[in-house]
Amino acid sequence: MTRLAWRLARPNILSSVLLLAAVAVFAVLTRQAMTAFMHDSGLDACLAGNGDCGNLMQAFDMRFDTVTTVVKLLNVVPMLIGVFWGGPLIARELEQGTHRLVWTQSHGRGRWLAARLGVHLAGAAAVAAVFTQLMAWWFAPIERIQVEGTVLYGRLDPNVFDFRGIVPVAYAVFAFAVGAAAGALLRRTVPAMAVTLVLYLVTTVLVRVWREHFMAPLRSTYAFGVTDPRAGKGDWVLSHDTVDPTGALTTLAEVPAACRAQADHTATDACLGGLGYQWADTYQPIERFWTFQLIETGIFAGLAATALGFAAWWVVRKLA
């Protein structure tokens, strides 16, 4: 049964390998360009010397703008696995009637389902893991980019978190499980794929909104004109507020006109700092990266297990 499942998964595996190969080519080429630029522009040396590399980094960010835009597309990989692996898995068998062929061989439908789900799950997890590793390697140069003490692509940043660590594997497994369950329930490939797409997007968006509440955020206050004590760490900053000397929230538009009239913003900051104005940041510290990864992996693994359990129950007990 497992061998049949492997044989039937062959087109999926082949297309995934091709896709991964294409991504690898892209990653190798762009990473070479990025490291070369860092070296040639002196950014490397600057970062090593702890100097002010703001301008060089901004230049880098602009030069590789299109490359870093790709980052936002990486999140679709688990979704594609769910839509193109999970959706058709059971639905296509039901559509083409081949379930009547396999269920009437010497092993029943339970064995069939276990084999098909198992092989595809292993494949989905493997593809997601390889892809994540590849992207982590590719992303290493970009991760060092900071503008004025702000890490642009910190690991906890919502745009980056999703394809780092172990959550992509959980996303892929979840997307696949939803696809399989939808296929079993709807018995039609295309509707199952559409439902998978919608459910996956809705779930990931909800969890993404919820993510900053996984743990209570920390708060850090520091005077105007003083360097942020956590600059360059790559924290996930949730809010960045101005606090007046009494400790109440305010905005830069409401600070005393005398300070606003200063020659440059360094002088403005020094003026406000002297009056007792402070920055108040709420943030999730970068040290929580793995805790957050584990929490989110747990959420998606739980949802995936529920969907798979439903699919198994439905196929074994309910399908005629």
Partner 1 sequence: MRVLGRAPSGAVADVGFVAQDKPLYRNLTVGETVRMGAWLNPGWDRQAVVDRIERIGITPEQKVGGLSGGQRSQVALAVALGKRPRLLLLDEPVADLDPIARRDFLRTLMAEVAESGVTVVLSSHLLADVEKTCEFLVLLTTPVRRGAEDRRAPGADVHSHVQLADHTETLLAQHRLVTGPRAAAPALTAAHSVVQADYTDRQASLVLRARGPIDERVWTVRPISLEALALAYMSAPEQQETAA
Q: Site residues (CB under 8 A) for partner 1?
A: 1, 3-4, 7-8, 11, 96-102, 104-108, 320
Closest to partner 1 by CB, 101 or 206: 101
**In the complex, minimum distance from the CB of residue 12 to partner 1, in angstroms, rounded to a whole number:** 12
Closest to partner 1 by CB, 105 or 221: 105
Closest to partner 1 by CB, 8 or 237: 8
Closest to partner 1 by CB, 6 or 26: 6
Half-sphere exposure of 111 (CA within 13 A, CB side): 11
What is the enclosing helix (H) or strand (E) of 150? strand 150-151
Give the dihedral sign, CA 56/58/63/69: positive
| Residue 161: alpha-carbon gap to chain centroid | 4
Contact (Cβ atoms closer than 8 angstroms) between residue 61 and residue 147: yes
**In the complex, minimum distance from the CB of residue 99 to partner 1, in angstroms, rounded to a whole number:** 8
**In the complex, minimum distance from the CB of residue 180 to partner 1, in angstroms, rounded to a whole number:** 18
**In the complex, minimum distance from the CB of residue 102 to partner 1, in angstroms, rounded to a whole number:** 7
Residues in the chain: 320
DSSP state of 288: G
Closest to partner 1 by CB, 7 or 72: 7
**What count of other Cβ atoms lies within 10 Å of the Cβ of residue 216?**
9
**In the complex, minimum distance from the CB of residue 15 to partner 1, in angstroms, rounded to a whole number:** 13
Closest to partner 1 by CB, 104 or 227: 104
**In the complex, minimum distance from the CB of residue 4 to partner 1, in angstroms, rounded to a whole number:** 5
**C-alpha distance from residue 235 to each of 201, 284, 305 (Å):** 26, 6, 32
What six digits make up the tokens of 2? 């497992």
Closest to partner 1 by CB, 107 or 219: 107
Contact (Cβ atoms closer than 8 angstroms) between residue 171 and residue 86: no
Contact (Cβ atoms closer than 8 angstroms) between residue 313 and residue 181: no
For the chain, the first-to-last Cα distance in angstroms comes to: 21
Task: Give the neighbor-by-neighbor strand order of the sheet with 236-243.
Answer: 218-223, 278-284, 236-243, 249-250
**In the complex, minimum distance from the CB of residue 112 to partner 1, in angstroms, rounded to a whole number:** 9
